[in-house]
Chains A and B, each alone.
Chain A
Amino acid sequence: MCRWKKYKRTLLQPSRIETALRTVMTLKPKQLFRQLVSWAALLPLASTVLVAYLGTVLWSLNISFTNSRTFPSDQYVGWAQYQRLFDNDRWLLSLQNLALYGVLFIAACMVLGFLLAVFIDQKVMAEGALRTVFLYPYAMSFVATGLVWQWLLNPGNGIQQAVRQMGYPDFTFDWIIDQDMVIYTIVIATVWQASGLVMALLLAGLRGIDEEIWKAARIDGIPTWRVYVSIVLPMLGPTIATVFVLLFTAVVKVFDSVVSMTQGGPGTASEVPAKFIMDHLFGRANIALASAGSMVLLLTVLALVAPFLYARSRARRREEQA
């Protein structure tokens, strides 16, 4: 009974469309023209958002409920593709790999990036040179990174061989061909590439902290490490959250590095969801299954990003009101 009353109330309120129409009709012609001009200029934006972003997502969602293989089909099969997805060993392995990779990658990048930023912030000599060295990997493509590390970790010619030649014949470092350890090699390569980014962002955050807070802490007699832990780190909360979200999205998207470094191998040991989806979209010609997979990926990302963006805009609005 109460639900009906609430429903009726919302029904009787002028709909959004009505309000919009009413506003448009009360505008004077010149105002209307101005609004139209700016809307016209935003046409590329509007079409991109509606077609390329919203449209494709809905399209993929639609396909994931069909039984399309090489060509799209009109036959709807409900959740069958999703069921097949989660019965697929390769997919499950790719999810497992992604989870393991994600945790290690994000943790390592955060810790390394934070330490680098803090240490560089200690007024060291050659700060500019050091920053250049730590950040240059980020300017390289994922493909190049994967290829270089593939070469470095090559058991026959790379580090393992070099150390053996230096007099340690029993040294082994063949992770890249070891099914259980290959995922760690991808962690190493991508952490090498991305830590500099984390460092740059955290350093910018550190530098944004009011100099006088440091002075006050010195007078209070607070040791430097304690200032970082109790004062600076909490103040960097928003920056750290941003970095975390950036790293998380990078994790979900990981594709180039895996393709160039291990091609998903040995076997399927370093399979990741993005590669699974691409393989099924093109090579193995199962569009519906691939679309189902990409929907799962999308949900994973949205599950984290949506609350983050929402919390962010709320914080910003609160700041503006204060």
Chain B
Amino acid sequence: MASVSIHNLCVRFGANEVIKDLNLDVLEREFLVLLGPSGCGKSTLLHSIAGLIDVSSGRIEIGAQDMTWADPTDRHIGMVFQSYALYPTMTVERNMSFGLRISGKPKAEIERRVKRVAEMLHLQPLLHRKPSQLSGGQRQRVAIGRALVREADVFLFDEPLSNLDAKLRAELRRELKLLHRKLRSTMIYVTHDQVEAMTLATRIVVMYAGKIQQIGAPSEVYEKPENLFVAGFLGAPAMNFLHGRLKPTPDSVRFESEGLSLDVTPYALRAAASQAREVVLGIRPENLLIDAAGEFAGTVSLMEPMGNHHVVWLDFGGTLLSSVVSGAPAFCVDDLVRFTLDVGRISLFDSMSEQRL
């Protein structure tokens, strides 16, 4: 297994700078997810690591070797594509073994590898079928199998589950997680789906506009987002944002906005608050608790039943706040309800810099 190090990477397409001065260290054996919206540069980064795109400047090291200009084949990687990219006129068995045959591996070795991977991915009954005779989920398994037979140091995944329906996606997600645990290989995975990121990753890299916004374990990125973008991108429904001012007093810190005044002294500020400033307070719906003894009040404007829980939208002085209520709620639309905010779980961001305070 190998680690991947990226130093000062810049990738430009014509005049458009897609990736700007990016630094990233992928640890051995970890499952790193590159998460971000369309156009943020995550696919470009993955393709640069694979060697399919030429970089404009910077260095890429795979397994401590400089691979910035190496051919994709020489990088000892395996890659799985969004559209599977299986060779349509070849059987599953041939799809998986073609690359090995070209590189001149002995027949016995090829057979051994194909057999091993086929067992791992339950592909044995499909070995003599052509891609057109397989379902979407089966095709994706074959694509993963083709990458695995290469017994590479790093495996790259480019939104492999996007073309599958929701149920299949959940199933293959679990299989991928088990696969990673079994193989213990380094895997870099690109997706725009935060659920995939949260469930699969050992670390998540949130990207936006060609820059890394935050790197961290799923729980860290979820509970302590570094900036407004990360805070708003992860979590469904999205985090609630309240604009206001942070007022430090000699013995406490208060957050004040229209209709809301909250003592946020327990919040661990990075730098001690010396003067008042404009801030954004973020609180996740599951931490906005509807409680008859709550401090604040709002009108229920919409309720979305989700099966085992409800998403309740409250009209709070013109702003819509969401709350997650498990089980059946004891109120209806247009009711006036009271709620509290769990101060231990809020996030504060500077209004101007959008950075976490």
Contacts and interface: CB of A to CB of B under 8 A. Distances in A.
A221 B99 contact: yes
Contacts of B88: 234-235
Interface in B17-71: 47, 50-52, 71
What does DSSP make chain B's interface, helix, strand, loop or mixed? loop
A219 B72 contact: yes
A51 B187 CA distance: 68
Nearest to A223: B102
A210 B131 CA distance: 14
A221 B89 contact: no
Interface string B73-103: 1000111011111111110000000110011
A148 interface: no
A223 B86 CA distance: 17
Nearest to A212: B85
A212 B81 contact: yes
B132 interface: yes
Interface string A205-228: 000001011011111111100100
B192 interface: no
Q: Chain A interface secondary structure, helix, strand, loop or mixed?
A: helix
Contact of B72 (A212, A218, A237): A218
A220 B83 contact: no
Given A215-B52, A215-B79, A221 B103 contact: yes
B141 interface: no
B146 A216 contact: yes
Interface in A181-225: 210, 212-213, 215-223
Contacts of B78: 219
A220 B98 contact: yes
Contact of B73 (A210, A220, A230, A322): A220
A222 B99 contact: yes
A105 B26 CA distance: 58
A36 B150 CA distance: 64
B81 A322 contact: no
A231 B89 contact: yes
Interface string B114-147: 0000000000000000001000000000000010
A226 B102 contact: yes
B262 to A, nearest CB: 51
A237 B132 CA distance: 15
Nearest to B98: A220
Contacts of A235: 88-89
Contact of A220 (B47, B52, B102): B102
Given A212-B81, A216-B81, A221 B87 contact: no
B99 A212 contact: no
A238 to B, nearest CB: 11
A226 B104 CA distance: 14
Contacts of A222: 98-99, 102
Nearest to A319: B132
Interface centre among B51, B71, B72 (most CB of A within 10 A): B72
Given A221-B102, A221-B103, A231 B87 contact: yes
Interface string A84-115: 00000000000000000000000000000000
Contacts of A217: 87
Given A226-B102, A231-B87, A216 B132 contact: no
A240 to B, nearest CB: 13
Contacts of A230: 87, 98
A221 B73 contact: yes
A217 B90 CA distance: 13
A117 B81 CA distance: 27
Contacts of A216: 79, 81, 85-87, 146
A26 B84 CA distance: 50
Nearest to B147: A219
A226 B87 CA distance: 13
Nearest to A214: B85
B89 A215 contact: no
Contacts of B84: 212
A322 B102 contact: no
B83 A219 contact: no
B67 to A, nearest CB: 13
**Central interface residue in A215, A216, A222, by most chain B CB within 10 Å:** A216
18 contacts: A212-B85, A215-B52, A215-B81, A216-B81, A216-B87, A218-B51, A218-B52, A219-B50, A219-B52, A219-B77, A219-B79, A220-B150, A221-B73, A221-B103, A222-B98, A230-B98, A231-B87, A234-B89
Interface of A: 210, 212-213, 215-223, 226, 230-231, 234-235, 237, 322
Nearest first, the 5 closest Cβ-Cβ pairs linking A and B are A220-B99, A221-B73, A234-B89, A212-B85, A216-B85
Interface of B: 47, 50-52, 71-73, 77-79, 81-90, 98-99, 102-103, 132, 146, 150
